[in-house]
Structure 1
Amino acid sequence: MHAVIASPQEDKYLVARPGARAGLKIERAHYRELAAAVDAALPVPSWLVTNAHETWGLNLTSERTDQAVIVRPETALGYSRATWEICLGCNFQCAHCYLPERPFAGLPLGEKLRLLAMLRDAGVLWLQITGGEPLIDSDFPAAYEHAYCMGMLIEILTNGSQLHRHVDMLAQMPPHKVTVSLYGATPESFDALTRTKGSFKNTMRGLTAAQAAGVPVELTLIITKHNAHELADMRALAEQYAVTHSEYSNISPTYAGGAAPLGSQAPDFISKESVFTGCPAGHTFFHVDPHGHATMCKIGRENPINLMTDGLDGLLRLPKIADAQMLRTGGCSECALSATCRVCRPLARAYQEAKAPLHTYCQHGN
């Protein structure tokens, strides 16, 4: 199993280690040296031996480069990140979910693996596997191992309820992140938001198993009207089980403009601090749904590109598709406050189609 990954990333070259946040920037000459050393099954170059020890405490002194390093090929596409919905099916029925529907349909395993190879060849180093709930997909273990062995740094976005079933694999093949959504601090609030009896118990089982197996977890605290009164206790759970945590309080419509999730918003927790300053979606980043359709992101799903029929050449159309979706149109045309807007145009469109109150997403509602 490889110890590190060498990968081109836009105009840079990186060496990364699965499961570690620290990485190395290297010169192109060093990247090419590693590629040649892999081809010739040479010992790991001395400069990498030294840097690996200093950065990760990793001993590569007696290792062959072809056994210790995956060298990712250069690509003309230049994508570095992608999100992939392995399935939309979920074992929770969350009231705040941004998905309009959650069918289990998707690609068979062979096509999933072919899709992952295309993502690698597009340049994707950081891959987020999401859903629905990815850990209930029967193909998840095989897909995860395939992506890992191709040299991807994987984030799993999960509700944690099935995490206990996968911790042994994740301990052996460390992900870049496991991000678990926390929907409350008690069964009452948690199960009310997920609309699934036993969801709190199962998520806590997953967190406990991950901790025991040494699989680090990040928690995202989802703040809604169901659990806002428990925020201090949710933070305490994060201190106990997570290496770090974030808080998410701005509930959005479905990406298709459905208003149902907005009913979960806790009005006093609408954040008005962050300003949208631009996004690389469609240019260095993209999203793929369970059928292999690529779009600029999870929200901006207009004009999807079928990677399974069009191949990587289809991604050449994505930047223009993304730019068209980012144009301020409709009620946002020539807005004098656009420089300090908090949402991107695709998300604003979803709010508008949901007929959401202006104060939930737009400064004109203040």
Structure 2
Amino acid sequence: MLRLSGFAASANIEESAPRAALRLVTSPTGPNPNPNHDAYLFRGKTSDPGCQWVVTFEEHQAEAEKLFSDRRLIVLPDYFSYLGEGDVIRFAPDRKAVRVLFRKEANANYFLVTERCNHLCLMCSQPPKDVDDRWLAREIIDVLPLLPASTPFLGITGGEPTLVGEDFFEILSCARDHLPATPIHILSNGRTFKDKAFAQRYQAIGHRRLSLGIPIYSADPEVHDYVVQSKGAFDETIRGIMNLKAVGAEVEIRVVVHKQTYEGLADLSDFIFRNLTFVDHVTFMGLEITGFTRANMDKLWMDPYDYRSELRAAVQYLAAARINVSVYNHQLCLLDGSIHQYAKRSISDWKNEYADECASCSLRNRCGGFFSSSSLARSSHIAAFQ
């Protein structure tokens, strides 16, 4: 598991200086130079692009302090050594805190827009906080112009991203202007889109590769509302999806499978077929054991092998109805073989790992593996394919 945050040493940087989003560059010929946000990544070889900022690692600290005594210098712990050209970090001088915001070589990069949310989902991996975190949205707006136009994918998440209001639309407009070819996938509970005007404004942004991933956990409104811990959420979410599709937006339905939802998968698939057949994608997702999930393990955790029949039936039903369907965050050895073709490698690489049993598996390169948090509860049926 890659570490994405930590603390650094620094020189020539006042503690009162504002947080800085820094794009790492290794030569004077980088694309779209930005003197306020570019930082020279020094690894002991000098091709100095003359940046105000220099970022290096502990092993090169002494040399960097001599060569760049007049620059703003950040010295990262060696566990950040995976960073490279085009990656973006945030440095907070008052705390000397570092966080990796973007990795050019990652299989997926997500930006957290806010920690606020109007749900309290039993299995939330990012438990909401009632805080004023508007700086997060402003930071994203600063970072987007630093990203390469070839960025293959970008995710927007929260909390609930739509709760930031105007900043939500400004982020999407910035993505449209700087990353017009990059698919932008937004994780939202969909409730704000119950307002037709909000849905219309979203679609009017005009980014051709915008999509929304919206959860529905049951065809029974009471079950869905229980899972998200918010009464009336089901009805507002369905209205939001209807409004989005009415204006031509791309919508994916996400279903996290666990003890509260697995028995209703067949009914939910039927509900989607009869009422939401126009959605663009349906994904059935495995449980990530972090955040609120840890506190609710007795209500949520079950061996995925034990719901394999329900999952197979739901996937096959939607596939037969010609609805685009996928299975995320599951191991192939726990899935019925008939739905292996729908399983995707979906876990972000920085928190993706494999069990010892996977070492000799002939299907390892096709399998999604595990969340790093899965060590807290793992199926007893993990086995290698020979």
What TM bracket, shorter-length normalisation? 0.5 to 0.7
In the alignment, structure 1 residue 131 sits paired with structure 2 residue 158:
yes
Change (3 A) 1:244 1:215: closer
The structure with the larger Rg is: 2
Q: Which residue of 2 aligns with 1:269?
A: 307
Quick one: which of 154, 157, 160 aligns to 2:184? Answer: 154
Q: Which residue of 2 aligns with 1:140?
A: 168
**Amino acid in structure 2 at the alignment position of 1:243:** V
Measure, in 2, the Cα distance between the counterparts of 1:143 and 1:261: 35
CA contact (8 A) 1:82 1:124 kept: no
**SS of residue matched to 2:258:** coil
Q: Which residue of 2 aligns with 1:90?
A: 117
Change (3 A) 1:145 1:223: same
Change (3 A) 1:183 1:104: farther
**Amino acid in structure 1 at the alignment position of 2:192:** Q
**Amino acid in structure 2 at the alignment position of 1:248:** F
CA contact (8 A) 2:213 2:253 kept: yes
Report which stretch shifted further, 201-210 or 75-84: 75-84
**SS of residue matched to 1:359:** coil
Q: Which residue of 1 aligns with 2:215?
A: 181
Report which stretch shifted further, 154-163 or 102-111: 102-111
Residues 248-278 of structure 1: CA distance to partner in whole angstroms, max 9, x if unpaired? 2522201799363573245532551369998
Q: Please report how far the alpha carbon of residue 111 of structure 1 lies from its aligned counterpart in structure 2 after TM superposition.
A: 2.4
Aligned residue pairs, count: 240
**Cα-Cα RMSD:** 3.6
**Amino acid in structure 2 at the alignment position of 1:245:** H
**Amino acid in structure 1 at the alignment position of 2:287:** I
Which protein has greater RCO, CA pairs closer than 8 Å, 6+ apart? 1
Q: Which residue of 1 aligns with 2:140?
A: 112
**Amino acid in structure 2 at the alignment position of 1:136:** L
Residues 148-186 of structure 1: CA distance to partner in whole angstroms, max 9, x if unpaired? 122243221211111234311232224432221111112
Q: Which residue of 1 aligns with 2:294?
A: 258
Change (3 A) 1:260 1:125: same
Measure, in 2, the Cα distance between the counterparts of 1:280 and 1:196: 27
**SS of residue matched to 1:156:** strand
Q: Please report how far the alpha carbon of residue 92 of structure 1 lies from its aligned counterpart in structure 2 after TM superposition.
A: 0.8
* Deviation >6 Å, runs of 4+: 275-280
Q: Please report how far the alpha carbon of residue 190 of structure 1 lies from its aligned counterpart in structure 2 after TM superposition.
A: 0.6
Map residues 174-323 of structure 1 onto 2, 5 A cutoff: 174=207, 175-239=209-273, 240-241=275-276, 242-254=278-290, 258=294, 260-261=296-297, 263-265=299-301, 267=303, 268-269=306-307, 272-273=334-335, 296=350, 299=351
Quick one: which of 355, 359, 362 aligns to 2:380? Answer: 359
Measure, in 1, the Cα distance between the counterparts of 2:187 and 2:239: 17
> TM-score of the superposition, structure 1-length normalised?
0.55
Measure, in 1, the Cα distance between the counterparts of 2:286 and 2:298: 9
CA contact (8 A) 1:88 1:131 kept: yes
CA contact (8 A) 1:100 1:254 kept: no
**Amino acid in structure 1 at the alignment position of 2:190:** G
Q: Please report how far the alpha carbon of residue 350 of structure 1 lies from its aligned counterpart in structure 2 after TM superposition.
A: 1.1
Structure 1, unmatched stretches of 5+, are 1-74, 283-295, 301-325
Using the aligned pairs only, state the percent identity: 21
**SS of residue matched to 2:294:** coil
Measure, in 1, the Cα distance between the counterparts of 2:199 and 2:253: 16
**Amino acid in structure 2 at the alignment position of 1:191:** D
Change (3 A) 1:281 1:343: closer
CA contact (8 A) 2:141 2:171 kept: yes
Q: Please report how far the alpha carbon of residue 142 of structure 1 lies from its aligned counterpart in structure 2 after TM superposition.
A: 1.4
Measure, in 1, the Cα distance between the counterparts of 2:130 and 2:177: 29
Measure, in 1, the Cα distance between the counterparts of 2:293 and 2:369: 14
Measure, in 2, the Cα distance between the counterparts of 1:177 and 1:91: 21
CA contact (8 A) 2:127 2:291 kept: yes
> TM-score of the superposition, structure 2-length normalised?
0.52
CA contact (8 A) 1:181 1:221 kept: yes
Change (3 A) 1:218 1:249: closer
Quick one: which of 152, 160, 164 aligns to 2:194? Answer: 164
**Amino acid in structure 2 at the alignment position of 1:169:** R
